[in-house]
Structure 1
Amino acid sequence: MCKTCWLLLVLFLPLPTPAIAETYRVFDKDQNVVEIWKEKDGLIEVYNPDMSRKGYIKKEGKRLERYDKDWRREGRVEHDLDPKGKGR
């Protein structure tokens, strides 16, 4: 195979693309970054500002479950999806 054909094959060969992750930064009242959240496929990975793993947030129905880095549950938040904001 000629060098030009090989180069074209390499340049245009479809490669598997990773899922795109949304990234969010969580700030304190003094505008310092306290956490970095990366959401991918319904799971939010939580990192410290130095990018060391802090834990996870998992969406389960109408609630968010928060876990530490060893998957021990730390807390839960339930939210109402009522668009009128009347709640229950």
Structure 2
Amino acid sequence: MAGKAQKIISTLAEEFNLSRENVLEQGVKAFLEKQLRAVKAEIFKIAGKYGVVSVEEMEARYREGTFEEKETWADFQRLDHLEYRKEQLEKLLKELK
């Protein structure tokens, strides 16, 4: 598999008159951006379901007693994980710039 990828990278670099490193950077950037969009979409879906904008707001609702943990806990954990993943993806994208 790595051999096929290397061949495609070389072909792209040659066809577009780019360095192999540039092709790889653009590919990694596109991959990270795609992952980030998917994570943001899922965050939006969960946050919208409960009318919150973040895991912190959801946690505040638990403390206030306006959310039942029994019915929302799995989504809370998922939202927390997604927000962490979003931060990591944004950090990696920033490193590419």
More helix by share: 2
Structure number with greater Rg is: 1
Task: Using structure 1 for the length normalisation, give the TM-score.
Answer: 0.28
Higher relative CO (Cα under 8 Å, sequence separation at least 6) belongs to: 2
